[in-house]
Chain A
Amino acid sequence: AQTVTQSQPEMSVQEAETVTLSCTYDTSESDYYLFWYKQPPSRQMILVIRQEAYKQQNATENRFSVNFQKAAKSFSLKISDSQLGDAAMYFCAYRSSYNTDKLIFGTGTRLQVFP
């Protein structure tokens, strides 16, 4: 079974600085999708970024980018020019290409942003 691990329960960053959130996963599949979701205090889950495993190029969405290391099964999220509104829980998630029954989540990282 696939698992997703986020080893940083909490992280903090100064406004305008850069922070990296870590995520590792375990799978025997070769084709899959990885996601980062943001959950602000409103608790609404918001999709931040998506990576297709068969693509070597790292996904980027404005200030958010990933470092996808397929061999190492690592999928970190980098937030550049951090803003106060980036403060939230961040969840890493895995979705199989072969069995699309569910999204498997890590336990989350709480990000604090200080002015």
Chain B
Amino acid sequence: DGGITQSPKYLFRKEGQNVTLSCEQNLNHDAMYWYRQDPGQGLRLIYYSQIVNDFQKGDIAEGYSVSREKKESFPLTVTSAQKNPTAFYLCASARPLGYGYTFGSGTRLTVV
């Protein structure tokens, strides 16, 4: 079955470390997205990519980086510059023009 796989489900980071969250899709979607979810704030867009080797900053890109070397993969790196990284991270992909997103099951990142 087609879908989006996020890994790991839970991730713990020490202060000052970079960590990378994985997102893989087999839906043949061109566009992929990373959202951050905090209590009471809904989902906020971090980065998005509409084609391979191209990506744009979303509303809260500071302290994050991404790459899009393959259509299927869109990893997110949370760098040490991100001051408050503890959150739930959701990856999504989409067909163009008006279709809803398909979401992964998310990664819960906690700074310890």
> Which partner residue on chain A sits nearest B105 by CB separation?
A44
User: Any chain B CB within 8 A of the CB of A68?
Assistant: no
> Which partner residue on chain B sits nearest A106 by CB separation?
B42
Minimum distance in angstroms from A23 CB to a CB of chain B: 12
Q: Which positions in B face A, CB cutoff 8 Å?
A: 31, 33, 35, 40-43, 45, 48, 50, 56, 58, 88, 90, 92, 94, 96-103, 105-106
A-B contact count (CB 8 A): 57
> Which partner residue on chain A sits nearest B33 by CB separation?
A102
B97-A102 in contact (CB<8A): no
Residues of B within 8 A of A84 (CB): none
Minimum distance in angstroms from A54 CB to a CB of chain B: 10
Q: Which positions in A face B, CB cutoff 8 Å?
A: 9, 33, 35, 37, 42-45, 47, 50, 52, 91, 93, 95, 97, 100-103, 105-108
Query: CA–CA, A52 to B99, complex, Å?
Result: 10
Minimum distance in angstroms from B76 CB to a CB of chain A: 15
A101-B90 in contact (CB<8A): no
